[in-house]
Chain A
Amino acid sequence: MATRSKLSGTAALEDIEGVGPQAFLASIVECSDDAIYGKTLDGAILSWNRGAERIYGYSAAEMVGRPVSVLVPPNKPDEVPAILERVKRGERVSHFETTRVRKDGEVIDLSLNVSPIRDASGQIIGASTTARDITEQKKMREALAERAKEILDVSTPVLQVWEGVVVAPFIGTLDTQRAQQFMERLLDKIVQTNSAVALLDVTGVPAIDTRTAQHLIETITSVRLLGAQAILTGVRPAIAQTLAHLGINLADVATRSSLAAGLRVALDILNLKISTQEDQAKGAHSL
């Protein structure tokens, strides 16, 4: 009967009637869903729990005595030696994500925690590994990242910044499908807001290749056909140079190096003025 409410260390376990400390710990290890296995400092398997049998597909009988490198995919020959080196120095390896090969050849994603096993004198005599199967988790994480990227790309906002002016950040690296969706969204927004001007901001375009240039030209042309005017903003000298090299003539498209400057052109087109304090004061006087 345990007299202490909290079990701490193996000394307390001796109080539990009929259960030796080793057996208690052994049953925890055995029942774990994670793979838990011990190995020598040379990498030879000493113990292999049921979780390991399930995750790796090898039985304990098959694994004990064999080198752990059996599980390592051929493209990672230095991984186990590196881990063991750190363990020999007394370090723990935590949440190390890597891949291993099951008995049936399937490659799985795992998160490893490796810690040193010490003898009674404190000497490091081996390593204990806990491996968690994160294949499903990894798939979900990648799917989420992909979706997040899609959401970011597709919902890149076309904003109405003034009555009659919309701004759209032009992203050059979109694939064909998303490039088409971008054009459709931009044109629909122009119609919806009855805008006369669309500012295409190319600040975020890393490089202009032929495909990006084609997409840009098509966007500008279709905005024009619709009945609005396109202004390119954020045009840096490097971009202008590349466009010129590609033989693209932007003579009939206003370009500005900053969004603010582009907005001024837009407002001018709409016959609006951003009046300064001075102008307003003058106006008051002239009345």
Chain B
Amino acid sequence: MSDLARGNIPIKSENDIVAARRVVRDLATQLCFGVTDVTRVITAASELARNVFLYVGAGVMWWSILDQSGEVGLELTFEDHGAGIPDVEQAMTPGYSTSRGPGLGLPGVKRLMDEMEIHTEVGKGTTVMVRKWLRE
């Protein structure tokens, strides 16, 4: 798997959440994702960027266009050096967030995307990577 292009935008203000949405919209549209998939990817990006801003205050969104044996994909990675997620399994349980308040919305983001990977360490930070592949 190789990446054809990559970039990043800092997330340190509310405006950056909008900026993230716009960058992702441009990328997804240029890659010819269908309108519903474009919306899915933007929505996922908005949620993850907001998590970074809301819970940590500062972070970065990396994006890259992937090529895996002819299949094109969009990868987004949200990185922060915050407190980390103490219990990822709990955060990934659907229904958990609704009972405790907004939460991180991670189960929903997973549903919107094709792949998701979370790396987190308490006291060090969190990296959330999501991917969406172009389908025929």
List residues of A whose CB falls within 8 A of some B CB.
177, 180, 184
Residues of A within 8 A of B34 (CB): 184
Residues of B within 8 A of A180 (CB): 36
Residues of A within 8 A of B135 (CB): 177
Interface SS of chain A: helix, strand, loop or mixed? helix
Nearest-CB residue, chain B, relative to A177: B135
Number of B interface residues at 8 Å Cβ cutoff, please give it: 3
Nearest-CB residue, chain B, relative to A187: B36
Shortest beta-carbon distance from A282 to chain B in Å: 50
List residues of B whose CB falls within 8 A of some A CB.
34, 36, 135
Interface SS of chain B: helix, strand, loop or mixed? loop
Nearest-CB residue, chain A, relative to B40: A180
In the assembly, what is the distance between CA of A177 and CA of B135, in Å? Answer: 8
**Can you list 4 pairs linking A and B with CB atoms under 8 Å apart?**
A177-B135, A180-B36, A184-B34, A184-B36
List the 4 closest pairs (A to B, CB-CB), nearest first.
A184-B36, A177-B135, A180-B36, A184-B34
In the assembly, what is the distance between CA of A177 and CA of B34, in Å? Answer: 12
In the assembly, what is the distance between CA of A184 and CA of B36, in Å? Answer: 8
Shortest beta-carbon distance from A222 to chain B in Å: 10
Shortest beta-carbon distance from B40 to chain A in Å: 9
Residues of B within 8 A of A177 (CB): 135
Shortest beta-carbon distance from A176 to chain B in Å: 9
Shortest beta-carbon distance from B66 to chain A in Å: 19
Shortest beta-carbon distance from A8 to chain B in Å: 57
Shortest beta-carbon distance from A65 to chain B in Å: 47
Shortest beta-carbon distance from B134 to chain A in Å: 12
Nearest-CB residue, chain A, relative to B136: A177
In the assembly, what is the distance between CA of A177 and CA of B36, in Å? Answer: 12
Nearest-CB residue, chain A, relative to B34: A184
Shortest beta-carbon distance from A230 to chain B in Å: 19
In the assembly, what is the distance between CA of A12 and CA of B34, in Å? Answer: 71
Shortest beta-carbon distance from A184 to chain B in Å: 6
In the assembly, what is the distance between CA of A180 and CA of B111, in Å? Answer: 12
Shortest beta-carbon distance from A183 to chain B in Å: 8
Residues of B within 8 A of A184 (CB): 34, 36
Residues of A within 8 A of B36 (CB): 180, 184
Nearest-CB residue, chain B, relative to A180: B36
In the assembly, what is the distance between CA of A180 and CA of B36, in Å? Answer: 9
In the assembly, what is the distance between CA of A134 and CA of B57, in Å? Answer: 65
Shortest beta-carbon distance from B121 to chain A in Å: 32
In the assembly, what is the distance between CA of A177 and CA of B114, in Å? Answer: 11
Nearest-CB residue, chain A, relative to B35: A184
Shortest beta-carbon distance from B94 to chain A in Å: 10
